[in-house]
Structure 1
Amino acid sequence: MKYFYTIVFLSALLLSNFTLSAQTASGIANGSIRGKVKTNDGQPAAYVTVQIVENNKKTATNESGVFVFNNLKSGEYTVKTSSVGLQVQTQKVTVTDGEATTADFTLTESGSQLDEIVISTYKSPNTKSIRTGKIDIPSRDLPQAVQIIGAQIIADQQANRLSDVLKNVNGVAYGENRGGVSGETFFARGYSLGGNNVFKNGARTSTGGMPETSTLESVEVLKGSAALLYGGVSGGAVVNMVTKKPKFENGGEVSFRTGSYDLYKPTLDLYGPISQKLAFRAIGTYEKAASYRNSVHADRVYVNPSLLYKLSDKTEIVLQGDYLKSDFTPDFGIGTIDNKIVNIGRGSYINAPWAYNNTNTVSSQLSIDHQFNESWKINVLGSVQSYNRDYYSAERPFANTEGIALRNVTRSKTEEFSYNQQINLNGQFNTGSINHKLLVGADADQSKTTSNGFVYGPSGVASFNYGSVNLLDPSTFAGTGIQPEATNTTRTNAPIYRMGAFVQDLVSLTDKFKVLAGIRYTFQKTPATSINTLATGVNSKGTAVGKTEKAFSPKLALIYQPLKTTSVYVSYANNLIANTGLDIYGATLDPSLVDQYEAGIKNDFLDGRLSANITAYSIKNSNFAQQALVKADGTGNGDSNVKELNGKTLSNGVEFDLTGNILPGLNFIAGYSYNFIRYTETRDKTVITYDVPVTTANPTGKATSTVGGTVEGQRLVGTTKNTANGSLFYTLQDGKLRGLKIGASAYYTGNRNGGYNDTKTQTVSRLIPLSGFTTFDLSGGYSWKKLSLLAKISNITNELNYFVHENYSINPIAPRQFITTLGYRF
């Protein structure tokens, strides 16, 4: 790795010296043109093309409607705004060396008209900035793989869940979780996207109730390490769900969705002005559905009100809230027999008939954006969220060779309460002819999880078998049908405190060479849990030891743009992964620091109507935690909770995505990814001897234990080798059939491993190999004036395959289904 650091450092130094030398030789600093484009109702006009006629230089406005041209020689220039569907506007400006000239534009179109133009004409994703990146730069300047799934794709595919949206993102694969009760689980670049990796409008959000996605404006995915910007996130990706915002004109939509297995889902979306400075939006939906899984039901209510207050031309405040009531049946699927999948029927439900999982999520968010001038702006974000889950179910149907499985019950009741605060300062300035785009930020979040412990039955036992089930005998699936008594005995509080600060600078050495560098300091404190025994009121500490973690997360990237439409980059970043357990001295285990290397090419063709991006990466964890062989005194260690950081893992892969709108009305998105994550160095099989108390049965006071790590080179369970996706929609633009829409989608999920990775000490494998599969969807619809009708048949070949969590949550994929949505815009 030292060679990589040396090459990057020397390259940056040489480029900097080259540019500074050129600047010194010229003896002058060039000028610039800066401006802002607004709609006629005062909204910023994003992604509008701005051109200097004399030299044909082009750029696009960012999310705030701002554009900049740097390194211009003194003289007179003609600046022009243009885009399909927009009225062209021009201005004559004079540029003076060392000064910034302002050229602002006000379009004749309104904000909603501009939205319709953007949707119908398509904008290259490489020209857009994403909120997840926290800085107003186009994706082309960001040395990371980025994908944006917009409102049009979400609507065309009639997406209901986050998994429906993310299957369009190459390199992000769905993974089953325990009974489906913890929300949807995803893997990216071999790493699970935990609760810290999913955001809504830039703030962390819970995925426990399965977030509502059918009403989103877009979903942004920033792949690779985002530790610089967000702290304790896994290295795979971060996902940001962007909700729809208020508008200063009256409008809305009402729709009704229905489909197979008794799906009924009405939705209402209203927006408009309350005054000249205050606008509102209110979105609500109700969903009631059964399932292809027998006895499985979902009942959901979602409300998303929001207010937009324009304090001034430079300051706006957005206040929004979310309420999601999501009740659904926990479902562990069809289970395994002798660690093997047996097809006992796609719809076979073997959980208790009374099982339930009821969740409530309430959140509120306040965002303040202030533009100091055309070069500097600040965003302040605060959010609060409450998530409650009430769950009772029989569990884990993994059976022996005869098909018999225990069904111990679990009753849980948890409350999660979290706060998040952020402040991000964006600035742009020049040092001579070198342009800087600076991002400085700080964030903090605090959370507390309260969980309850239960005992079961009249005698209050810790473990209770609802009734063994024979997976080969459907008459045993329902059991007695009687819900066991559960008594709440303890209440555990587990707080976590996080904070961090970072700085990042995108340095444009020339028009073609850029360097992005940044560093973050992260502090995380996890106090020891406290347990309240309800019968006595006594508080005590839990077995988990409190710990404090600190880390610096650097990032460095080189960007070369030989053409305005092409960007080539290499980057290095790292992130921390928290570890459980103690070291041999009894101290809490340090976090693992994971190194990530990435290289990519981003291309636009056909004047931005076609984008093709490719990324390669390598993620190395050289201090993976595993059981220590000896204690601090040199004697053998028989405690699996005592660990040391000397294991290694490696994740390699490539990702390719293709998006475009080559013809009017034709929109497509496609992608492919390959990932291989495995252990590369683990503990060899070793027999250790350690001290135990002297007893009559063991007068020597010695015991032995066989220790061994995971088998090297074996793909980690849950991760997917290959994924591919393709989706195409075409809407007729002319003729009698104008408004007719047809679409097709295909999704490939490659080979995976379920069960458990093999270890060097076991004699029987618990791995469950899973083959790849492909599903195909067909869509058709028609829009006439304000009415629209869209229908879809998914998995038209009725493909059968499984998603597996360990060896007991074995859920068949959905069969062929039909869904249709009728909408009316006003």
Structure 2
Amino acid sequence: MKIINQILLFIVCIANQLVAQNTQNIHGKIMSVSNIPIEGVTVVIEKTDYYDITNANGDFTISNVNAGDYKLVVSHIGFNSKTIDMSVTKGNSITLKPIYLKEAYSELQEVVISGSILSKTPNAAKSGIKALDLPQSVAIISQQTLETQQINSLTDILKNVNGLYIKGTTGGYQEELASRGYSLGSNNTFKNGVRYFNGMTVETSGLESVEILKGSAAILFGNVEAGGILNLITKKPRFDFGGKLDVTFGSFNLVKPTFDVYGSLNDSKTAAFRLDGSYASADSFRKYVSSETYYFNPSLFFKLSNKTTLLLESDYTNDYRTPDFGAGIINYQIVDLPRDQFVGVKWGYFDAEQVSVTATLNHQLSYNWNVTYINSFRHYNTDMFTNGRPNSGGAAVQEDGTWQRNLQRRDYVDNYNLNQLDFKGLFKTGKVKHQFLVGADLENYKTKDTRYNSLTTANNNGQAYYDEINIFNPDYNNFRNDIPNVDKNRLTSTPVSRFGIYVQDLIAINRYLKVLAGVRYSYQDTKSDIYTYSNQSTSITNLYDDALTPRFGVIIQPTNHISIFGSYANSFETNTGLDIDGNTLKPSLIDQFEVGIKNELFNNKLFLNVTGYIINNSNLAQPYLGNGNTDSNIKELAGSTKSQGIEVDFTAYPLFGMRLMAGYSFNEMKYTKSNTYVVGSLLRYNPKHTANLSANYTFESGTLKGLNIGFVSTYFGERFAGRSFRITTPNDDRQLIPLSDYFQLDGTLAYHFNNKFAIKGKLANITNALNYNVHDDNSLNPIASRNYSVTLSYKF
């Protein structure tokens, strides 16, 4: 410990030589006229490269300013800018009086913003650290992008982010995410910082922005996959009165009205509200497939005192649609079927509902310190009854196209509660600045998974299937359409308790060198209670896991617009099964190394970021093969995988009113050690190459003023589905299914007039590209064919 302290002291001494001795710091706070702190305000010393961005408490600090007379320029979207004259004298740091900005209501129309991307503060970072200071890759999709690209799904959102992709759409009722080779399930998907169950489609009309933190986030959120997290930010209350009404019509009989209204609840502007929602009804490019979705997102904001605020949010989605597992794979080969051909039962349904209620209490303890408490409850349930998946449960599609369809039914309930307390602030030790976070979270899950019997000879009059069809020539008129009764098979109840405590510090040793360090302790208790209805038996197991997950990063900033970083982070993955001694299997620990550079160039007109990473899972759980064991529940930490890649992000504003975004990613994930799979073989679903390019231009003057045109293009590289060959299985016939690469192009057009009315149009998949999302070999879903939508909009 003494040696470490000496090293740190030496680093501080050397680093301080880089800074002039006659420099001072400028502290301040930016507030709205309603006395609410404003986050994300840009504070610049005119004609210099000195600047800062306010944190969630409205605070900013500009360090190491030489003595002299300056103009301080304060600006933020939706507010009138302000310029302040000030003098800095030798040896005297300055703490300014609060600076108040007035909301510019007339300026809140759709404009092209060229503000600093890297100076934004991701909410998911918890501690108010701006993107430039985070030693990891960060992407923030703004509301402007959501609107100009007329985004309607997660798939649309991810067209703006390289390296984060849809790996499958099992049944057509969900969008399964992955990043850097790792699946991003419900543990890695958040809405307003609270875990969101992503087993259903996400309604995007209520989103204000989307944050993606790539790489490890385990120190902040505990048991998350190594690839990154997705945080969906919903629309928040506003004190000015206004709103918008939209109605969208489109291909496949799409009808979708949306509404959004907000305003103050009292004259003193201490309480505000927002209510937005939508309804959507649509068919599909697939025959007999349809959907209906209801969405509501109410929220309230209360200024309880000058130092205390309370935000109440609720989010409700009900999605009812036809499950569609496709049936176009025979012997691990994709067969040529018409794109619109549906071979599921026409009466099948997937009925999903998710509702959450969240309270966020924020209290300003002092000028530099605040505490945030979050309490959230989420309920999710699904009822699915449809045909079984092709090529599963013995229902393989034969060479001639014959398929004996069986049935599947499942009820699933997930109740989730989060209590989270974060204490964060700024302080100094000598000349070293600290942005400090300490927090704790307690999560409780209660899930109930009810499975039903499929049809067998014993319960279906001697016939072990529902009916028989031919996928090459489905006779829709003679499809069996009755809905038989099926009995419950088993109920699995899984209560999970998870506790974590974490501490993190961003240490600014001087203007050029910062260190981010922290650690988290997580404890998880998982109980599984399986009740079998046929013999009324119960099986109970308990798993107890705990892990320490450290994080360390170094950030070098030669200027205020360039950040070079390197980081190490560790995360863990819980495992099911037992070891050879009958004990519960320990978690797999995953090491992640990341380096990169973030650049803001040409006065925030161009942003170029490059990131490289290596992720090693050196103790992957695999079946134990010793002593002739055949029990797949007995495992050992005997496998290893390695994911490595590079990501490039580019954003530019070459002309006033124009924005260009582009990106490229390369990822390769392989087995580096395995007693089950071929060493060196690739893991499934992960494209080696992805790329994106989009452009958008708004005419700001002349006869075409108010016209906006744009396009979004994406490239999705080759990858594999199917089933990986097992070297331990004699005569194993499992095969991978190669999926070809494809390019997709969307175009958008919008015209705004009188600052109130707008008409928008979108043509998606202009080239009518055909490709597939495939899970194993039992859910093959073609991407949507060429389609259009038209939206009429009114703002008030």
Q: Given the superposition, is the C-alpha separation of residues 467 and 38 from structure 1 closer, same or farther in structure 2, using an over 3 Å criterion?
A: same
Instruction: Decide which of 42, 45, 58 is 2:51's aligned counterpart.
Output: 58
Measure the CA separation in 2 of the matches of 1:388 and 1:469: 32
Residue 474 of structure 2 aligns with which residue? 474
CA distance in 1, matches of 2:555, 2:337: 54
Which TM-score applies when normalising by structure 2? 0.93
Q: How well do the aligned residues superpose, as a CA RMSD in angstroms?
A: 2.7
Of residues 786, 792, 795, the one that matches 1:822 is: 792
Judging changes above 3 Å, is the alpha-carbon distance between structure 1 residues 113 and 238 closer, same or farther for their aligned structure 2 residues?
farther
SS class of match (2:144): helix
Partner of 1:206: 197
Whole-Å separation in 2 of the counterparts to 1:328 and 1:680: 41
Q: How does 1:592-671 map to 2 (within 5 A)?
A: 592-630=588-626, 635-671=627-663
Which residue of the partner structure matches residue 224 of structure 2?
Answer: 233
Equivalent in 95, 99, 118 of residue 101 of structure 1 = 95
How big is the shift at 1:468?
A: 2.9
| Amino acid in structure 1 at the alignment position of 2:96 | T
In structure 2, the CA distance between the partners of 1:372 and 1:115, relative to structure 1 (3 Å rule), is: farther
Question: Aligned-pair distance for 1:337?
Answer: 1.5
Q: Which residue of 2 aligns with 1:699?
A: none
Counterpart residue type for residue 707 of structure 2: L
- Specify the code of the residue in structure 2 equivalent to 1:270: V
Partner secondary structure for residue 153 of structure 1: helix
Contact between 2:218 and 2:570, CA under 8 Å: does it hold in 1? yes
**Is structure 2 residue 119 aligned with structure 1 residue 124?**
no
Q: Give the Å deviation of 1:401.
A: 2.0
Q: How does 1:69-218 map to 2 (within 5 A)?
A: 69-72=62-65, 79-82=72-75, 86-92=80-86, 97=91, 101-110=95-104, 112=105, 120-181=112-173, 183-218=174-209
Amino acid at match of 1:784: F
Tell me what 2:570 maps to.
574
Superposed counterparts of 1:757-796, under 5 Å:
757-760=724-727, 761=729, 762-785=731-754, 786-796=756-766
Deviation per CA, 1:695-753, whole angstroms, max 9, x where unpaired?
xxxxxxxxxxxxxx111222211111111111111010001110011111101110010
Report the 3-state secondary structure (helix = DSSP H, G, I; strand = E; otherwise coil) of the residue aligned with 1:228. helix
Pick the aligned partner of 2:587 from 584, 591, 595: 591
Distance 1:799 1:22, change over 3 A: closer
Partner of 2:509: 509
> 1:19 aligns to what SS in structure 2?
helix
The aligned counterpart of 2:560 is 564
Deviations 1:145-198 (A, max 9, x none): 0001111111122222222212211101111143234x2101100001011000
- CA distance in structure 1 between the aligned counterparts of 2:514 and 2:551, rounded to whole angstroms: 14
Contact 1:198 1:207 in 2 (8 A): yes
| Shift in alpha-carbon separation, 1:436–1:235, aligned structure 2, 3 A | same
2:384 alignment partner AA: Y
**CA distance 1:563–1:443, shift in 2 (3 Å):** same
Q: Distance in 2 between matches of 1:471 and 1:236?
A: 38
For the residues of structure 2 that align with 1:27 and 1:662, how far apart are their CA atoms?
36
SS at match of 1:625: strand
| Structure 1 residues 325 and 10: alpha-carbon distance in aligned structure 2, compared to 1, 3 A threshold | farther
Distance 2:367 2:175 in 1: 41
Unaligned runs of 5+ in 1: 1-5, 684-708
**Which amino acid in structure 2 is aligned with residue 668 of structure 1?**
L
Change (3 A) 1:569 1:376: same
Q: 2:234 aligns with which of 237, 243, 247?
A: 243
Mark the CA change 1:34 to 1:257 in structure 2 (over 3 Å): closer, same or farther. Answer: same
Answer with 343-352 or 170-179: which moved more: 170-179
Equivalent position of 2:394 in the other structure: none
1:365 deviates by 0.5
Contact between 1:573 and 1:596, CA under 8 Å: does it hold in 2? yes
Aligned equivalent of 1:737: 704
Quote how far apart the aligned CAs of 1:122 are.
2.5
Shift of 1:757: 1.5
**Residue in 2 aligned with 1:438?**
436
Relative to structure 1, the CA distance from residue 788 to residue 13 in structure 2 (aligned partners, 3 Å threshold; closer, same or farther) is farther
Task: Work out whether 1:295 is the aligned partner of 2:288.
Answer: yes
SS in 1 for 2:145: helix
Q: Report the number of matched residues.
A: 783
Q: Give the superposition deviation at 1:208.
A: 2.4
Cα pair distance change 1:12/1:811, threshold 3 Å: farther
Q: 1:441-590 alignment to 2 at 5 Å?
A: 441-455=439-453, 460=459, 464-475=464-475, 479-488=479-488, 490-531=490-531, 533=533, 540-542=538-540, 545-590=541-586
Unaligned runs of 5+ in 2: 392-396
Shift of 1:668: 2.4
Alignment partner, residue 803 of structure 1: 773
Residue deviations 1:476-525 (CA, integer Å, cap 9, x gap) = 79632222211235433111111101111111111011111110001111
Deviation, 1:31, is 4.6
Q: Secondary structure of the residue that 1:483 maps to in structure 2?
A: coil
Please, which moves more after superposition, 44-53 or 620-629? 44-53
Q: Counterpart in 1 of 2:688?
A: 721
AA aligned opposite 2:737: I
| Preserved contact between residue 269 and residue 283 of structure 1 (Cα < 8 Å) | yes
CA contact (8 A) 2:438 2:503 kept: yes
Q: Given residue 677 of structure 1, which amino acid in structure 2 is its aligned partner?
A: M
CA apart distance, 1:451: 1.9
Taking a change above 3 Å as real, the CA distance of residues 53 and 249 of structure 1, as seen in their structure-2 partners, is: closer
CA shift, 1:406, in A, is: 3.0
Check the 8 A contact 1:471/1:477 in 2, yes or no.
Answer: no
Tell me by how many angstroms 1:765 deviates: 4.5
**Mapped partners of 1:489, 1:306: distance in 2:** 41
- SS at structure 2 position matched to 1:165: helix
Q: Partner residue of 2:25?
A: 32
What residue number does 1:376 align with? 369
Deviations 1:242-288 (A, max 9, x none): 00101111100000011100000000101011112111100010000
Q: Is this contact kept in 1: 2:424–2:436, CA < 8 A? A: yes
Quick one: which amino acid aligns to residue 718 of structure 2?
Answer: N
Task: Indicate conservation of the 8 Å contact 2:762/2:788, yes or no.
Answer: yes
Task: Point out the more displaced range, 28-37 or 784-793.
Answer: 28-37
Aligned to 2:713: 746
Deviation digits for residues 612-663 of structure 1 (CA, Å, limit 9, x no counterpart): 1110000001101112232xxxx33222221111211000111111123232
Structure 2 counterpart of 1:313: 306
Q: Does 1:421 align with 2:419?
A: yes
Contact kept? 2:406, 2:454, Cα under 8 Å: no
CA distance in 2, matches of 1:55, 1:146: 26
Using the alignment, how far apart are the partners of 1:345 and 1:26 within structure 2?
68
Measure how far apart 1:395 and its partner are. Answer: 1.8
The 8 Å contact of residues 40 and 121 in structure 2, kept in 1 or not, is answered as: no
**Deviation at residue 541 of structure 1 after TM alignment:** 2.4
Separation of aligned partners in 2, 1:298 and 1:105: 50
Q: Is the 8 A contact 1:49 1:60 kept in 2?
A: yes
Identity, % of aligned positions:
37
